[in-house]
Every structure is written in structure tokens, then in C-alpha cells.
Structure 1
Amino acid sequence: MGVLQEKLSSFYKSRWLVFVAAMWLQSWAGIGYLFGSISPVIKSSLGYNQKQLAMLGVAKDLGDAVGFMTGLLCEILPIWGALLVGAALNLVGYGWVWLVVTSQVPVLPLWAMCALIFVGTNGETYFNTVSLVSCVQNFPKSRGPVVGILKGFAGLSGAILTQIYALFHAPNQASLIFMVAVGPSLVGIGLMFIVRPVGGHKQVRPSDGKCFTLIYGVCLLLAAYLLGVMVVQDLVEVSETVISIFTGVLLLILLVPIVIPITLSFGPEQRHPEVEALLPPPQNKEAGKSQLDSDEVILSELEDEKPKEVDMLPASERQKRIAHLQQRLLQAAAEGAVRVKRRRGPHRGEDFTLTQALIKADFWLLFISMIMGSGSGLTVIDNLGQMSQSLGYDNAHIFVSMISIWNFLGRVGGGYISELVVRDHAYPRPVALAVFQLIMTLGHVFLGMGWPGSMYVGTLLVGLGYGAHWAIVPATASELFGLRNFGALYNFITIANPAGTLVFSSLIASTIYDAEAEKQHRQNMMLRVLNASEPLKCEGSVCFFLTSMIMAGLCVVGAGLCMVLVLRTRIVYANLYGKASSSRLRL
């Protein structure tokens, strides 16, 4: 009985159980992606026009992006408390919308409906923040894969929830709003005592690589399966029995990762003797405090005194040169020849507050490059319908489904590739972001040129690049600015999405599209007479050519900013990952 109790305790405290539970939580967290499915029933039930519905969409985007309060509450409340707040917001927001749509409560004015949509979608930020903060702290040396996988499941949640909803086959579309209100809230409450930091840095095992390989395999299988199901359901009329089978297989795939914590906790004990050596021995904080302060002072002087060519030396030679320079500074300080300055604020790689990060050039380089990349990518996603129609495609559904899959694979693949860069080469992670932004540049060019089949290639490249941003940028922020206030930093970074779409979609794309549509309308007198009451439409590659070229150029600028950040942070990544990389090479 004692052995079983010990194994159950080990299972409950396993960082892999937390990771798997966070994946399930993220599978229900992307409720914002379902707005396109619930907006028609809101429009028809309340008699809204397209402009009023667009205002609800803006409220949804703001609720999904504004997470200042989320970051603050995650620092004050326990993790389970933050999840409970998110579940309550989701239930109240979308639950009230469901009551209004089904005429069970009086109809509210438009501003109140916008507020409810904002509140309901804002609950999603609590699910995202809790999942990322918990798992990044539990897997500090695998931040890229962890962030990529979790954000990938959030991006794929719309397709997952749509398939689960199809199982019920409810004739009333308003029931989808009910599922959006109740489903994520129940999942969040059910997992609120599981998703939490558990000291995962003390649970390093030699089998971790195999566990991540299994997770990646599940991700690829899930993406391929959902893509296949979407194509089948789009081309063939399937029965309820087939839909039930499709959904059952989907749920089984989502359950497969639980095998990892079960095997590690209840399987045969396989503890490697070198595992504990991977962790630094505990030190007496009080005894070492004065020495730490002294080292910090000398390190701040080293930044000013060391020659620039030192950073370009091999790791062993660089350490010797730095140690020699530090010894000279210590001796000079003791003799009074050097007046040692106290540093102001933390250095790169240490724990920053949001206020401290906002005055750093590194943070703004990362944030602006995020606006260039994710903003242009989201603009393509939001305008896929008009893009495909302007190029002569009747059904935009296939492109929407495909870009959601490429977005998922970009998030998972971006985390994996960037982790190879830092773990195997000790090179700054933003170099991977620069590569994906150049890939997005090609995608924008394909979309703008309008060649035959270019929509398929363009959505593939833009989807992969856009998804990679949400794996690489949060991991980079945690490495440069620390884990202590990661929740606040992450939620500030998410503002890049609405900021980018405000510029690219609202100001650039819509203005150019309307101008081209008006030009075509004036040139075609017959069309002008027949469609006088219909909104203007633009046809041909010219509709989005200039917009795509502008976004391609700005992605190149974003890649350039990433390379500037790479040059500024080489020493940080050499210190973080250089030892692990060199030891792996020796083995």
C-alpha cells in the first residue's frame, strides 16, 4: 500500500502530467477561433448588420489580446485561482450571450454584447497564461518545444471543438455558443489543481527526449488526421455514425500522451546516475549573498572593460580571458585604482519586471519584429475569404482549414527547430524567427502575384511562419527577461497581434481593396447597373498585390531586426546553453 501511495504521489507531482493536462486545457482554450462559426447565429437572432457584427469581432480580438490583468493576477493569485477566474469569465461572458441569443433574457444593446464577448474571450488569456507559465517553469531547458506544442494545441482548438460539436449534431446553431460557454469552463475547473509548477527542473530524466518524440508524433498524427477528416466531410456527405467514429478516434489521439506520466510513475524504476549531476547543488543563500553582490558588481564592470573580440573566441579561451580580466578588476578595486559602479537593474537572462523590460532595446526589437510577422500573418488569415474570391475560388473553406493546420505545424515545428539552434549550437533563438519571417516573405509574394495554385503555396508558407512566431517569441522573452514575471511579459507581447492587424488589415489592406474595387466598378458600366445595391467587389490579383508586397517588405525588415537582436544576445545564449552544447559534443 505504501509503494502504491508513493507512486500515486509521484504521478500527481509529475511535470509530464502537468504538460499533458496543459495540452488538454489548450485544446479547449482557443474559443476565439470559433467566432466565425457562432457569428452567423448571433447576426440572424439579433438582426445585426455586418458593421455591428464587425464590432463584436473587434471586441473578441481585444479580449483575446488584452491580458494585463491576467499577468498581474497570475503573480498574486495561486495558479488554481487564476484558472478559476478564467473559467468564470468564460462562463459568464458566453453564457449570457447564449441566453440573449435564445431569448431567455432581454436583448441587450450592442455595447453590452461587445462587453460580454470581450469578457468571455478574455477568459482564454487565463488558460493560456497558466499553461505557459506552469510548463515553462517545469521545463526550463526545453522552452521552445513546450511553448510550441502548447500554442499549437491552442491554434488547433477551433478544429477540435468543431469536430466535437459535430458529434451532437444539434439542429440549433445556438447550442454551439452553449458549448463554448460551458465546455472550456468545465475543463479549466477540472484541471485547475493539476496544471501548476511542480519543480520540474528536479525531474530531469534520460528518457525526456523519447517523451518529446512521442508528443511530436501525436501532434503530427493529430494534424494529419484532422486535415483528412476536414477534406472528407467537405467532399462527402457523412452519416452520424461516421461522425461519431471520427470524433471517437480524435479523442483517443488526444488521450495518448497520458501514457508518458503513467509509464514514468508506475513503470520500473530507471534512474540514471548522472541525472542529479545535471542540477546545481543547493547553496546557502545567506552565506553567499555578499559574494554574489561582489560578483554582480565585477560582472557589470566586465561589460565595460572587456574587448569586443573576446565574445568571438571559443568558449574555453573566452572563459580564461574573462577570468583573467575579472582578477585584474578585483585587484584594482581593492587598491582603490578603480571605482566600482553598482549596476542599474538586471542584466539579460535575469528576472525583469515588465517595467524594466519596457525600457530595454532588446524587448522592443522582439516586439516590433513580432508586429511585422504575426500582424501580417493574421491579416492574411482574416482576409482569406476575399483573397480566394478575388482569385476566382468559390469556396474559401478549404483554405481556412488548411491554414489552421499549417499554423499548428508552424507552432510545433518552430519550437522544435529553434530548440535545435540553441541546444546544439548555443546560438540565439531569434535567428530561427528571422528564417521563418523570410519564409513568410515568400508566402506574401505568392499570394500577391496570384499565379495558378499560388493560394495553396502562399497559405502554406504564411501559416507555417505565423505559427512559428507564437513558439519562438515567448520562449525568447523567457530566456532574455526571466521566468519570474513571464506571465506579464507574455500578455504584453500578445498586443502585437491587434496592433499589427490594425495597421495591416484596417489601414492598408481594406483601403487598397476598396480603392481597387471602386476603380473596377467605375470602369465596368454594366456591372455598375446590375449590382448597384450590392457591396463593391474586387477581382484579380491586383486586389491584394500591393498589400502583399508591403507585408513582404515589412517581413524582411522584421527579419533584419531579429538579426540585430541575435548580434546583441550572442553572449547570453552562449552562457545559457554553451556548457550543455560543449558537453554533448564531448560525449
Structure 2
Amino acid sequence: MEWDLRNSRWIALAASCWIMVLNSSIYTFSGYSQAMKIAMALDQKTLTAITTFSGVGSALGIIPGLLYALVPPWLLLAAGAAGQSVALLMIWLTITHRIHGAAVWQLCLYELLIGISQASVQTPVVLASARNFGRDTGAVLGLVKGYHVLGGSIFLQAFYAISGGGGSGDGLPLMLSWMIPLMLPLALAARPLSRTVGSPPVPYGGMYGMSGSLVALAAWLLVVSVLEVFMRFTRGTQVIVCSIIVLLLLLLAVIALEQLISRRGVLDRKVAGSAREALLDHDEKEPAGRTEALLETGATKDHETGRTSPPPRLGDDHTLAQVATSVDFWLLFVALVFGFGAANAVPTNLTQLAISLGYSQKIGSVFVSLFCVSSCFARIAAGLAADYCLKRFGTPKSTFLALGMASNSIGTALAAVPVPGAAIFAAVLGAASDGANWGLTAAIACEMFGERRLGVVFNALLVGNPVGHYLLSSRVVGYFYDREAGRESVCHGGHCFRRGFAALSAASAIGACLCWIVAARTKTRSWQ
């Protein structure tokens, strides 16, 4: 029996998850930031300014979104991998003094290149996953983005195993620069596949299996992060840790193959001979990378009367002009400015919040790890729940975005009081919002505006992330913290973040209300 591995959407999904793990260099800045600070004699304010440029680069993801319709997906992915590798290599050469006379603006440029290169890889992977699994975009993209957020921790554990403990971290950019190109062979599998009219719905056994492997990986990384706070791992222990991580990653291939074998068995029972081959190869004649053209159903203009036809229905492919003039798009964008910005402000200030409440620096790092793992869980749970409720009850996916933002509003309000365990509430409930934001934004964009221009719409919505983060974290939380600290560099007490986190709570509540409005409008039009 032959299996067409290259045309299996499950193999494509496994490859996409591995690519997103390798595409997570943007989450590793903390691993080499101290080495950069010492080598370049930087103060904390300058170091913080440098790291914001990776966020600016991610916000420029609209550029690869536009290019996706013009160039093959593998070319975008290759360009992103090359850009990250070159930028990280230049950072390593700089902080190890192999390049002399480097300026701060050059480090900012390297981080900017890392951000936009990361978006260049993410765009074709997200769009291919959305294309291959149709209406199950919530669960699939939640899974893919879940592996993305864990990639930084995986890279750090690999570096600890290679370096025997991590050292100063100056070798981390070099390791990343040669590991990231490993995603290039995976691009052959992680590509958009043609869907036939009679293609079956997604079997949730496979989706639950892959989600379970992600949960196991996240739990293992959390356990390791906690143990590293209280004990020092030997090189042998680090190798064991990494071996378990690799096995959990390879479990994706096992699940994908099992789904492929199961699918082929179903086909063998339902179709025979040439009919089965025709079903499997039905769309092979379509040019690769151009199957999106089959979905174009946007409004057209009547050249005789000069009038424009009615706007496309919910879920139909919209033109960029239709998206830009859509009330729903701008409601969603403003909601993400408030909700996304407030959620991302939590991990940025979580360690300082823990210290102000009397915890040590090490315990503060555990809270940050708890936030990352909880965000991973939220991405999976939000995606699965959104897909299930959409099919079962017709509930718009933006409803779960509103619930996530509402949870962050509660968590930051509890931290502003603060109640006992405020840092834990802020970490877990803030992560619920962060996970829903990252896991559902692309799925909601696809649900509302169609697949054809999803790359541009998705990346345009993500611009709200750095905008909101800068305004709420730097200009609001940072301002109130400095006022409470006075002349001291560190503030202690429950009053330190009271006003700042109260502002985050209000911002999250505004974002949740806007998402509820989008959900109500979507629900109304979905039954027309």
C-alpha cells in the first residue's frame, strides 16, 4: 500500500508545528540580553528599547502578507529563515567583540530584521494550516501557535545541554543561527494543499492527540523551569531533558502517520481502484500556490451602471478595500489594541509585580514560565472550544476572544487590589487572554473576511499588538510605577502597580466589550 505523505494535511500540520518551534527566536532575547548588556555597556532603558524593535518587525508582517499572493510560500519561508540566521549571527559577532565599533542602532536593526523575518515564516505556515483544515481553523491555529510560544523554552534547554549550563548566553545567538535553517526541508511538507468538495471533516481524534502532545510538552517544560530555580542541572541531566523534548516533538509524526493510515483505510472501504485514485489526485492539476483563486467571490462593479454590488457575505472573500471599510475590522482592531496590549503588558511587568509583593527574583521567573505555559494551554483550549461551539451552536469565534479579555480584566483587577496570590491570578488569567488572542485572531479573520487575503488581514490586525503594548506597558504601567517608586529604582508594596494594573483591567474590559459587539454583529449576519 502506498501513502502520499507529501499531500497529507496531517503531515503538513506536523511540519508546520516543527517550523513554528524553529521560528521562535523572537522569544529567546532574555537568554542573551545580559551578555549583550555587558558587552555593549548598555543601561536597562536602552536594552528595553532594543527589544521593542523585534515587536516593530513583527508588526511589519503585513509586508509578507502582501507578498504571499505574489511569490511561492516556500520562498517567503526561506527568506524568513535566512533573515533570522543573518541577524542572529551578526548579534553573536557583536557581543563576542568579533566586530568592533558596533553601535546601538545596529543592534536595533538586527532585532527589527528578526521580527519581520519571523513574520515572513509565520505567514505561509498560518495560511497553509487554515487552508488545509477549512472551518477547523481555531483548533489548528491554536495548536500551531501553541508550539510557537514554547519554542523559546525549547531553544534555551537545547543551549543549556550544549553549553553545559548556559554560561553568559553569548553563544545562544550562534546556536540559533545554525538551527533555524533546519526548517527549510520542512517547507516541502508545510504547504497549502488542494481541498476537494467531498473532503471529510477533521477527525478530532488526531487533533486531540496532537493537542495532548503539546500539553505534555508544556507541562514538562514548566516542571523543568521550576526545578532549575532550586537546583543546578548537570550536563547529563540537560541531555535527558532535551531527549524527552525531542521525543514529545516526534510524537507529532507518529500521530500524523496514524491519521494518514486511518484515512487510507476509510478510502479503501469506500472507493475502489481508479475512483479512489481520482479522489486523491482530484486537484493536482491546479498550479501550486494559486488554489486560493478558486475561492474568490468578492463583490464586483457593474460597468454599465457604475454601481457596486452588495458587499460579500460573512466568510466570503473580501477585497482589501472592503476589509478597510468594514466596521467589523476596525472594531476588532481597536479591541486588539486594548485587549492584546493589556495581555502582553502582564508578562512584561510580572517579575517586577512579584518583587513588589515580596517574592524573590527566582520566584518571579517561575511566574513568567507559568504565564507562557498557561498561554499555550489557552491557545489549544480556545481553538477547540471555538470550533466546537461554532459547529454546535453557531457561536462566533470572537465570543471566546471576548471571554479571554474579560478574564484578563479580572486578573489584573485582582493584582491591582492586591489580593493574596495576586501574581498567580495575573499570570494565569492574563495568559488566558494572551492565548485566546494569538490562537483565535487568524481564525476570526478567516471566519469574517475569507481565506484569499488572510495573510494581509491577519498581519494588519496584529499591528494592534505592539501599539497597545507600547501605550499600556510603557506609557501607563511604567509611568505609574515610576511615580510610586519615586527616587528609588525598585518599588515595594501593593501600591506599586495599583493604578497601572487598574488601567490594564479597564483596557481589557473595553476590548472585551468591543469583541462582544463584533460577536453580536457576526451572529446576526451568519443566519441571514
**Fold match by TM threshold 0.5:** yes
Q: Is the 8 A contact 1:38 1:177 kept in 2?
A: yes
- Determine the structure 2 residue equivalent to 1:362: 328
Residue 510 of structure 1 deviates from its aligned partner by: 1.2
- Determine the structure 1 residue equivalent to 2:216: 221
1:53-202 map, 5 Å = 53-169=47-163, 171=167, 173-184=169-180, 186-200=181-195
Say if 2:388 is the partner of 1:386.
Answer: no
- Determine the structure 1 residue equivalent to 2:502: 549
Q: Which of 23, 26, 40 is equivalent to 1:46?
A: 40
Residue 436 of structure 1 deviates from its aligned partner by: 1.6
Say if 2:419 is the partner of 1:451.
Answer: yes
Residue 205 of structure 1 deviates from its aligned partner by: 4.2
Distance 1:80 1:413 in 2: 30
Output the amino acid matched with 1:363: F
Residue 249 of structure 1 deviates from its aligned partner by: 0.7
Distance 2:409 2:52 in 1: 27
- Determine the structure 1 residue equivalent to 2:482: 514
Q: Is the 8 A contact 1:349 1:572 kept in 2?
A: no
Distance 1:84 1:389 in 2: 42
- Determine the structure 1 residue equivalent to 2:244: 249
Residue 11 of structure 1 deviates from its aligned partner by: 1.1
Output the amino acid matched with 2:496: C
Residue 121 of structure 1 deviates from its aligned partner by: 2.8
Output the amino acid matched with 2:38: S
Distance 1:366 1:217 in 2: 31
Query: RMSD of the TM alignment (CA)?
Result: 2.8
1:301-321 superposed Cα distances (whole Å, 9 cap, x missing partner): xxxxxxxxxxxxxxxxxxxxx
- Determine the structure 1 residue equivalent to 2:8: 14
Residue 169 of structure 1 deviates from its aligned partner by: 2.2
Residue 62 of structure 1 deviates from its aligned partner by: 0.9
Residue 555 of structure 1 deviates from its aligned partner by: 1.7
Look up the SS of the partner of 2:266 in the other structure: coil
Q: Is the 8 A contact 1:138 1:201 kept in 2?
A: no
Q: Which of 236, 240, 243 is equivalent to 2:235?
A: 240
Which deviates the most, 374-383 or 564-573?
564-573
- Determine the structure 2 residue equivalent to 1:269: 265
Residue 45 of structure 1 deviates from its aligned partner by: 1.2
Look up the SS of the partner of 1:86 in the other structure: helix
Q: Is the 8 A contact 2:297 2:316 kept in 1?
A: no
1:227-376 map, 5 Å = 227-266=222-261, 269-271=265-267, 273=270, 342-343=308-309, 345-376=311-342
Change (3 A) 1:446 1:83: same
Distance 1:475 1:552 in 2: 25
Change (3 A) 1:172 1:447: closer
Q: Which of 20, 28, 33 is equivalent to 2:22?
A: 28
Residue 260 of structure 1 deviates from its aligned partner by: 2.9
Change (3 A) 1:573 1:473: farther
1:373-522 map, 5 Å = 373-395=339-361, 396-518=364-486, 521=487
Distance 2:73 2:185 in 1: 13
Residue 72 of structure 1 deviates from its aligned partner by: 1.7
Q: Which of 549, 555, 564 is equivalent to 2:517?
A: 564
Distance 1:455 1:41 in 2: 28
Q: Which runs of 4+ in 1 moved over 4 A?
A: 200-203, 293-297, 339-342
Q: Is the 8 A contact 2:335 2:512 kept in 1?
A: yes
Output the amino acid matched with 2:159: Y
Output the amino acid matched with 2:437: H
Q: Is the 8 A contact 1:93 1:121 kept in 2?
A: no
Distance 1:551 1:12 in 2: 46
Residue 448 of structure 1 deviates from its aligned partner by: 1.0
Which deviates the most, 101-110 or 363-372?
101-110
TM-score (norm 2): 0.89
Q: Is the 8 A contact 1:33 1:158 kept in 2?
A: yes
- Determine the structure 1 residue equivalent to 2:289: none
Q: Is the 8 A contact 1:66 1:494 kept in 2?
A: no
Residue 353 of structure 1 deviates from its aligned partner by: 3.2
Output the amino acid matched with 2:174: F
Residue 453 of structure 1 deviates from its aligned partner by: 1.6
Residue 221 of structure 1 deviates from its aligned partner by: 1.1
Distance 1:428 1:509 in 2: 32
Distance 2:473 2:120 in 1: 27
Residue 238 of structure 1 deviates from its aligned partner by: 2.4
Distance 1:56 1:294 in 2: 44
Distance 1:394 1:173 in 2: 22
- Determine the structure 1 residue equivalent to 2:490: 537
Change (3 A) 1:394 1:111: same
TM-score (norm 1): 0.80
Output the amino acid matched with 1:568: R
Residue 461 of structure 1 deviates from its aligned partner by: 0.9
Distance 1:561 1:165 in 2: 42
Residue 405 of structure 1 deviates from its aligned partner by: 0.5
Look up the SS of the partner of 1:383 in the other structure: helix
Change (3 A) 1:412 1:266: closer
- Determine the structure 2 residue equivalent to 1:315: none
Output the amino acid matched with 1:463: A
Change (3 A) 1:151 1:201: farther
1:158-178 superposed Cα distances (whole Å, 9 cap, x missing partner): 111111111102545221011
1:466-503 superposed Cα distances (whole Å, 9 cap, x missing partner): 11111122111111111111111111111111111121
Between the two proteins, what is the percent identity of the paired residues? Answer: 26
Distance 2:146 2:335 in 1: 20
